[in-house]
Each structure stands twice: as structure tokens, then as C-alpha cells.
Structure 1
């Protein structure tokens, strides 16, 4: 077994079946292969066809292997990722049983959530509903745990905790909760990689090491490069070319969130009221009738913003758009994937958290002074067009926005390729050290 620089490791990667997991796993796989190691990346046939593209120069080191999902009752015929599910209630049916490392192979858990979010949930036993730090009611998610040794606002709002608790921490039809699965994976791994940077979350990484009592290593942010195919979006890029440097707000809310018509209308009217040029990656609402499309937008909206705003339907090359010089702000749901793309491109963030870890991410970014959170009703999480417009103006127009701009530009320099490569080398060195103690030279990643 060679060391991490000897090119003799074989890393096996098995991401959860969601776009937000498969895509960053693929980017990390490329980073590992570029350092001379073999990588096998597993996913399902439909996901490998629509998501995974391997550069020709890495084909000899990076292998993509299809795993055909068994037929599962209640799942739609072609459902192979969470985006394919008509309802979040079907998420448990998309999960396959965990494959434990039963053959003397070291196992690493790769978290695509940041260190702060993981820390708030506590040690693995707490995720599994055991021990003094277990979250047994929503209110437990709204206070900073006593093991956090510094002042922070990183916690959930009341409405966020109530929405998250049942799908995240209460057993579902599979018999265990989503949190339990995370805890079990972390417990069974020899080390944990976190998609973050020591420059960005040093204090939270230390908390996590003490909670897990095993190596916790930042692996970098590894955002997708802005080299996506723009076929069908040429006019969008031409429109951006005509806008002033750093003036445009890019609005997008990820592949997982299913926004209602009411929330989309508030966002639309907020973008209009801001007076700023914007580009919106629009997805139909969760409560739209079949074929309704963008009919849920306010009447006359697209005509009123014509020339100043673009509404793009369907898939958009997000990394390419965020890298464009005209884009200066990002109205986002604060998913960790989108955050990493925004920070590495040096754009200012306006944060509208919608689900999962996004509320925690938002509070972290506000503390780090790289973003502004949209004001919400504390009881039900509702927001008005004015709340959207006010947050956008604070970041893009007001004098305070200059500080946000300076800070994100500094971070963009920190999160460059050199930092990513160093993080990956450190993580692989730790993996190599563990793998020396085993006969098999394969190292599975789970996450």
C-alpha cells in the first residue's frame, strides 16, 4: 500500500441519490483522480447519464459504475434521484440499505453539510436519538447546545425546527429517521471529511472533532468549474454581457426545494420592487396544476420587468452564470452547494432558507458578514415582497453592501484551486494512514 502521494489508492464513492450529493461527489472524484489515485464512482444509470461527465484525461483513473435500483413499490418508474419524486413523503423509498465495510476496508463519511450544521446536531448517538444531546422535540433545535464554547446565533428558527423535526428526526416508513442514518454512517466510519475550509469554519471544525472523537478533516469546497454547456442559453449570456459589472442578481433555489405559488409570487414581486437587474432560474411551484408552467407568476410581471429581468425556465448552467462578471448578487435558498458556488465566485449572498440545514447555514453566513437574511414571520416563516426587496438593496445598493462585497472577494481568493488541492491531499494522507492497517487497498466514501 503506497502513501497518498504514490498513486496507489483506490477510492470507492457512493453518494446519496440527490443531485446536490452526486454533483459534488463527482467534483471531488476528479480532484482525487488528478492527484494520481484510482476512483470508482457508483450511481444509478439515469443519474450517471444526466449528471456525470468525466474529462477524457481522467478516464483511465476515474471509473463510473451503474447500479440498477430494485423496483420499489410507490416509487415512480424512473425515479432515481430525489428531484424525480413528486412528494418528499416518498424519500424513504429511494434509500437503499447501508453497505457496511465488512471486509476490513477503512470507511470515510463525506459530509456535504458544513461543520457548523453538523455540530448543532451533536455526536452520532444524538443523531440516532440517544444520549443527553438527542433532539427529542423541535424546541431542542432552537437553542445553541451547551457544548459549543463560544457565542453564536447558529440555530434554527421556531418555524424551521417544526418543519424539519418530523422528516429529519422521527422514524419514517423505513423504521428509522434520516438523522439516524447519518449517525450510523458517521459512527461506522474511521474518519470524517467535511466540505468546508479550515479558513472558514475553524471553530466549528474543532467542536466537531470533540463531538465525534475521530479525525475530522476539511476537504475544501470543490465547486463545479464554470465550463458547463450553455446550449440554449446563448441569449441569456448575451444579455448578461450587456449589463454593468457586478450589477445583476442571480436568483435560484436549488433542485430539492418545492416552493408554493404564494412564495414564488412574493419572490417575483420582491425582485420587481428592488429595481435591480436580475436573472431568475425559475421552477414551477409544487402546487401548480399540470401544464400550468409559469402561469403562477403575477399577472404582467414579465412584461413589466422586460429588459431588466430574465426568467429562465428549466435547467440553467448555474456555475457559468455565477462566474459571469455582471453577476454581483445571489438570492439563494442557502443550500451548501449553492453557497460554495457563490462564495468561490465572489458574489454577495441574500439568503432565503427553505429546508434541511439551510437555516443553520444562513445564520453562519450572516455571522461571517458575507450575506443578509430575508426577514420572515417568526411563527410561520412567511415573507412579503418588501422583505425580498429590502434584503437585495442592503446587499447590492446600500453602503453596507460594500463590506459584503469586500469580504466575499477575500473568501473567493482563499477558496481557490490551490486550497482545494491541499485539502484533498491532507484528507487522502489520513485515509492512506488508516488503509495501511488493512489488507484491502480500497477506501469507500459514503455520504
Structure 2
């Protein structure tokens, strides 16, 4: 083991090859290093260049190890993250490209722990063969984990197997408190096959999650006891192993030059009056959906800044297409459409931004709530529907109304949801709740204490094994 007399530890971190996983894992790594430990984050060269910028003062403790991505049939050349895939149908190809041999090297360089997310279900066995324990670090909320159930249930085994679509559209019997956290029928129909049925990578997403949890010694959850105490307790009971909240560790706003025109535009608006619009790096919206969203923004009569990505069915990647004819001219001065990469956290931290229309991914939720931004949620895939139900029942967000059969939504649905949180009376209630929560979720002191508690649990486990 690499533990020194000072009590410092060495961690290897293996995130899934998606921006929404790599970025929070890199932020967690930074916070671990600030506690005096060493971290080696495994990634692939293109993602390292695009995403990870190690502060000069942390270079001695924070290391990125580039691992070449194995060639896999049907995986496009240069595709090293989910954002590079032209279709979600190719996600299994990326999952087959394992970053194997993660613990090569001399015994002296072996880590004390390997931290993984759901995709690297093979890593606990690989680490155990070198005598190194694994901890599962969940980028899902405790509410989503609790809803999914025990690892055996996700594998279709045990008392509450989750192996049919109808098992996911109602609150499970084992949840001992009232909640609305469950999938809607149209959400489950869209995700059951890719989520719960083995794909071309030979296993399902549900199996990956279950196996990663089952074979790990401890579980860290990107959450806090102030945010979802009842769900954290339930997850601990379901897993029958330590479950420790890590905090939500929101990233700090990016600094430096760039996007001055957008920031100047924001400067010209009243405090908390602008809606920021973005749907994350995983969502591939179609032209028809983008057109409805655009018309909803137009009908809302509110100022907005939209981090716009070209529609999945446009055939181009240049950011053109997908908007109604004449849209940008009609909203000129009130709305700003930004194409390409934008500094999302920096925009959300601007004083004129008061609302966030988002897909309810946990990264975006964290970045919005940490800065006291009111949320309008349009969940589109994965765990986002569960996140949306959870936040709505906490009265800190509004969900865009949808057709219960097919999940479609109208421009008026979008506009009504935006007006509810931004200009109507209940918006003040949402704002007060979110501001109170931001004092906890956005606090470095609170988040760093969660990280310290997690590290202490890992250290205690290592000492018990050595003793």
C-alpha cells in the first residue's frame, strides 16, 4: 500500500467516458488533493486535452494518466467520449473499449483505492487481483439509487426484481416514505431496452450499476444529508454496506478571457431576470424538439441566453439548423443564442441569471442550485425523470408539462413553466427555497467536509484490513 506515515493516500479514479462524468470526477479529484492526498485520474488523450486543466499548485499531487482507447468495431475514429458519437446506438461500442490494465506498474506505485463510476463494473475484480479495494462513486442522486433498488434487484434477482418496464413506473413497495419519484410510461418505454436489456457490450446499464456497487467495498454518493437524508438512509439499508454522501462539489466558475460579448449582454439585464437554457452534453435533441423549445422561449416574453447545439438530425455539427425561420431576428435584444462551447458555470454565476431551463441532469442541477438559480426541468433521458420528480416534490423546481402517452410538449408548456418560476407569485417561493438550499449545496466548507468524511471512511477501512 502507498499510504505514508502522514496518513496520505493515493487514489486511482476511473470515470466513464462522458463529459458529464469526467468533469465532476475531476472536480472531486481536485478536492481530494486539497486534503493532502494523491490522485491519478485515468482518461484518454483527447478528453485530457479537452477537459482537464490541473492547477499549477496541484501538479505534484494530481496526475492524469492517458490510456490509449482500444480500437473497437463500429466505433468512429476519434470518438473518445459520448459527445463524439453521431448516434446513441454506438454507446455500446464505447463501453466495450475498456481502459484495461489500470494498475500496471511497480508495487510501490500501487494506489490505496480505486474509485469508479457505474461503467467500469470490471474494475473491482481487476483491482482486487492486485490487493487494492474499490469504492463506487455514484453520479446518480441518492433518490435515483434508492428507486433502482438493491444490486440484486437491478440484476433481476431477489425479492424485488427490476426486470420489466412496469417495475419502474410506480414507487417501489420498499420505499418507506411518501414520494413521487418514479418514471413515467413514455420515459420507461424509451430507456428500458438500452438501460435494462443487455446490449452489444454484452451487459445492460443496470447490470453495470449493480455489479459496480456489489463488488465495491464502500459507496460514495454525490449528495448531502441536508439535501436527501431519507434516500441516503434507504440506500444504505438496501446495499448493506457503508454509503457516504460526498457533497455535490459544484465546480468553481471558469476564469480568464473569452465570451466577453455574452457577459456584456448579461450585464445589461436586471438581477435575476434572465433564463439560461442548456441541455447538457449527452442529450441529442431533434429539430422538432428544438423548434418547440425556441417557440416556447419566444412566447415566454422573458430574456434568455441559450447554449445551443445543432439538432441530432440536422446532418451538420456547425450549430446551424433547428431554429424556426426568423426566430433570432424576432427575439433580438431579448434573447441570445450561443453556439459552440460556453462557460456554463460562469454564466450561471452572473447576477442577471435567475432561471435555468435544463434537462435535469445532476451536473446541471448542482451547478444551478449551488448558485441559487430557479430550475425549469425538461427531462429527456437516463435518470433525469427521477431527478425532476424529486426536485418538484421538494418545491424547488417546476417540470415542463408533457403528454402522458408520448412525452411530447408544446411551446405553451415551456412558456407556462418559465413564467411560473420567473414572474408569477409562486416564483418568489421557489426563489426563497433555492436560495436557502444554495447556502448548503454551494458551500465549499460543507462540500469539503463531506469529502473529508468520505476519505476518513476509506482510511478507516484500510486500517481495519491491515490490522
User: Which TM bucket (shorter chain)?
Assistant: over 0.9
Aligned residue in 2 for 1:341: 367
2:410 maps to 1:391? no
Structure 1 residue corresponding to 2:427, chosen from 401, 404, 409: 401
Distance in 2 between the 1:270 and 1:144 partners?
32
* Aligned: 1:180 with 2:207: yes
Is the CA contact 1:42–1:66 (under 8 Å) kept in the aligned structure 2?
yes
Cα drift, residue 223 of structure 1: 1.2
CA–CA distance in structure 2, aligned partners of residues 431 and 292 of structure 1: 46
Contact 1:20/1:337 (CA < 8 Å) preserved in 2? yes
Decide whether the 8 Å contact of 1:229 with 1:317 is kept in 2. Answer: no
CA pair 293-33 structure 1, distance change in 2 beyond 3 A:
closer
**Which residue, out of 247, 251, 268, partners 1:220?**
247
Where structure 1 has 5 or more consecutive residues not aligned to the other structure, the ranges are 441-447
Paired with 1:136 and 1:109, the residues of 2 have a C-alpha distance of: 23
Match of 1:443 in 2: none
Aligned to 1:18: 18
Residues 308, 319 of structure 2: 8 Å contact kept:
no
Deviations 1:424-446 (A, max 9, x none): 00000000011224469xxxxxx
Count of residues in Structure 1 that have an aligned counterpart in Structure 2: 439
Q: 1:183 to 1:230 in 2, by over 3 A?
A: farther
SS at match of 2:47: helix
Q: Deviations over 1:161-205 (max 9, x none)?
A: 111100000000122101101111100000000001110000000
- Asked if the contact 2:2–2:10 (Cα under 8 Å) also holds between the matched residues in 1, the reply is no
User: Comparing both chains, which one has the higher relative contact order based on Cα–Cα distances under 8 Å and sequence gaps of 6 or more?
Assistant: 1
Quick check: 290-299 or 24-33, which moved more? 290-299
Matched, 1:250 2:272: no
1:351-393 deviation digits (Å, cap 9, x = unpaired): 0000000000000000111100000000000000000000000
Cα RMSD between the aligned structures? 1.6
CA drift of 1:228 comes to 4.2
Partner of 2:137, secondary structure, is strand
Query: Closer, same or farther in 2 for the Cα pair 1:5/1:134, shift >3 Å?
Result: farther
Give the structure 1 partner of residue 336 of structure 2: 310
Superposed displacement of residue 337, structure 1: 0.4
Counterpart in the other structure of 1:371: 397
**Shift in Å at residue 5 of structure 1?**
11
Report SS of the residue matched to 1:295: coil
In 2, Cα distance between the equivalents of 1:229 and 1:94? 33
**Matched residue, 2:265:** 239
CA positional deviation for 1:257: 0.6
The equivalent residue for 2:233 is 206
CA contact (8 A) 1:250 1:327 kept: yes
Distance in 1 separating the partners of 2:34 and 2:325: 51
How far the C-alpha of 1:224 sits from its partner, in A, is 1.2
Closer/same/farther in 2, CA of residues 204 and 376 from structure 1, 3 Å limit: same
Kept in 2: contact 1:228–1:317 (CA 8 A):
no
Distance in 1, matches of 2:303 and 2:49, equals 35
Match of 1:56 in 2: 56
Name the SS of the counterpart of 1:312 in structure 2: strand
- Residues 189-238 of structure 1: CA deviation (Å, up to 9, x unaligned): 0000000111000000011000000000000111111024452x110000
Matches within 5 A, 1:83-122: 83-95=83-95, 96-97=97-98, 98-99=122-123, 100=125, 101-102=127-128, 103-122=130-149
Deviation of 1:294 (Å): 2.6
What does residue 119 of structure 2 align with?
none
User: Residues 385, 37 of structure 1: CA spacing in aligned structure 2 closer, same or farther, 3 A cutoff?
Assistant: same
Determine the structure 1 residue equivalent to 2:9. Answer: 9
Deviations 1:32-62 (A, max 9, x none): 0001001111100000110001111111111
Q: Aligned pair in 2 of structure 1 residues 251, 417: CA closer, same or farther (>3 Å)?
A: same
Find the partner of 2:461 among 417, 428, 434. 434
Contact 1:13–1:42 (8 Å) recurs in 2 = yes
Give the corresponding residue for 1:133: 160
Please give the per-residue CA displacement for 1:103-143, whole angstroms capped at 9, x wherever unaligned.
Answer: 22121000001000011111011222222322222111111
Q: Please report the TM-score for the alignment, with normalisation by the length of structure 2.
A: 0.92
Measured in 2, the distance between the counterparts of 1:421 and 1:322 equals 21
Alignment deviations for residues 242-263 of structure 1 (CA, whole Å, 9 cap, x no partner)? 1000000000000001111111
Corresponding residue SS for 2:320: helix
Distance 1:47 1:417 in 2: 26
Residues 387-396 or 95-104, more deviating: 95-104
Contact 2:142/2:228 (CA < 8 Å) preserved in 1? Answer: yes
Q: What does residue range 278-297 of structure 1 map to in structure 2 within 5 Å?
A: 278-290=304-316, 293-297=319-323
Q: Secondary structure at the match of 1:145?
A: coil
